[in-house]
Amino acid sequence: MKKDIFIGMFVGLVANAIGLFLAANLLGKGDDFTVVIDAAAKEGFLGKLISLGAILNLIAFFIFIRKKQDYRARGVLLITVFIAVFTFIFKLF
């Protein structure tokens, strides 16, 4: 059970990282990934960019639900909630 939750958390983190990379490349208009992240941090929309990256977690979540791997889906959901709380706190400061 714990192993499946950790696998789901890992998949959630990887899916969010890939989603962040894709969102930065699509919205960055051909700029380098680090340049886009730096510009997003300076202009105050890094939290929105991270939230866009979390969209891929939905895909992973529903794949795990469809395969009846509920504990892995729970891990993805935990990471998604953690990312939401992180972006909320990031916006406050």
- Extract long-range pairs of 67-73: CB within 8 Å, 24+ residues apart: 69/4, 69/8, 71/1, 71/4, 71/5, 71/8, 72/4, 72/5, 72/7, 72/8, 72/11, 73/8
Average pLDDT over every residue of 2-31: 91
Q: Please say if the pLDDT value at position 12 is more than 80.
A: yes
Q: What is the pLDDT of residue 50?
A: 87
Quote the pTM value. Answer: 0.86
- Per-residue pLDDT tens digits for 33-71: 888 888 888 888 888 888 888 899 999 999 999 999 999
Q: Does residue 1 surpass a pLDDT of 80?
A: yes
- Work out the average pLDDT over 19-32: 85
